[in-house]
Structures are given as C-alpha cells and as structure tokens.
C-alpha cells in the first residue's frame, strides 16, 4: 500500500510540475516576452533620440554616412515599435496598469519617427525636428491614474525577477518558483484592480 502511495504521489508531482512548466512558458512566451520587447524598443527610441540629436537638430550638416546611419536607425525603430505594439496580447490590460502608452500614441510615434528619419538631410528646419522629438517623448510617457502605482511597480519587479531567474539559473526549481510567484502576484493585482 505504501508503495502505491509513493508512486501516486510521484506521478502527481511530475504531472503538476509539468503543468506549471507548460503554463509558465505559455505566459512568458505569449504575454511577458512581447511586453518586454515593446519596453525595450521604447527604451531604444529614447536612446536614439538622445544619441542622434546632433544629426537631426542641424539637418544636412553632418557627413552623408552619419546622416544615412541615423536615418536608417530611426526608420528601423519606427517599424519595430509598430510591430512590438501589435504583438502584445491584452494590450489594454497592460496600458491600464500604466506599463505602456496607449496604442494610438505608438502609432503617432511610428509616424513621427518616420518623419524624423525622412528630414535628416536637405532643406529641413532643425527646430521642426526638435519639436518632433518633444512630441515623441510626450507620446511615450505612461501616465498612471494614481491607483495603479503599486501594481505597476509589482509587475515590473515580477517581469524582471521572472526573466532573470528563467534566463540565468536554468534550474527548474527556481523557474517554477518564479512562475508561481508571478501567477500569485498577477492574481492579487487583478483582484485589487477589479475592486477599484
């Protein structure tokens, strides 16, 4: 009888562990990785706006190779932000938490980045380009309505810890623990969010 209980317990442990692994991978691949890609792309947009400020603030003054490189990078970011925005599942949920800007803002950012890319050389006004930069920065701001600050901080923490654990340790025990913590935290955040 004891042997049957041990085998049954082992079987259920393996089944539960596999289920947690599959569900955790599903959540990471479908929801967290696209969100992380979008946040990374937004960070690269800010970095490029700072890095290429000398190029677009004085169009045509730099060497043609530098202008082409800056124009290409901004055009590439314009397309990436579009693709990353549409790959995020449950976009409205993450937007309501204040993690990402509204989709309409990202579409406008896409257009402004494309316009900035096109106005790097030639008879364009550097002041217009600086206004474009300001508009892009304003559109990318994530405005929280105040009640979601705790949830926003918690989700950033969960995503960071979850991806770190999954990526660095490669140990199933740590991975399962991170997934369980993430699931419990998401459930708690969802309950708190629904109350308000």
Average pLDDT of the chain, as a whole number: 78
Q: Which residues neighbour 192 within 8 Å (Cβ) at sequence distance 6 or greater?
A: 150, 151
> Among residues of the chain, what percentage have pLDDT more than 70?
71
Instruction: Average the pLDDT over each of 4-8, 11-15, 27-31, 161-165 and give the range with the smallest value.
Output: 161-165
Better-predicted residue by pLDDT, 120 or 154: 120
pTM over 0.85: no
Q: Is the pLDDT of residue 185 over 60?
A: yes
Closest CA to 182 of 162, 152, 153: 162
């Amino acid at each position: 009888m004891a042997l049957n209980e041990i085998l049954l317990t082992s079987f259920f442990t393996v089944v539960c562990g596999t289920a947690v692994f599959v569900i955790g991978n599903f959540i990471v691949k479908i929801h967290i990785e696209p969100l992380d890609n979008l946040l990374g792309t937004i960070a690269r947009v800010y970095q490029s706006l700072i890095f290429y400020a000398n190029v677009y603030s004085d169009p045509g003054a730099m060497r043609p190779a530098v202008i082409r490189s800056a124009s290409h990078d901004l055009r590439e970011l314009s397309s990436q932000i579009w693709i990353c925005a549409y790959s995020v599942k449950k976009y409205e949920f993450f937007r309501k938490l204040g993690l990402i800007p509204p989709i309409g803002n990202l579409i406008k950012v896409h257009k402004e980045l494309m316009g900035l890319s096109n106005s790097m050389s030639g008879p364009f006004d550097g002041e217009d380009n600086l206004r474009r930069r300001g508009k892009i920065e304003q559109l990318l701001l994530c405005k929280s309505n105040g009640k979601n600050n705790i949830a926003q901080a918690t989700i950033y923490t969960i995503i960071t810890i979850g991806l770190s654990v999954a990526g660095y340790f490669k140990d199933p025990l740590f991975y399962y623990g991170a997934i369980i913590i993430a699931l419990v935290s998401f459930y708690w955040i969802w309950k708190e969010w629904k109350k308000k």
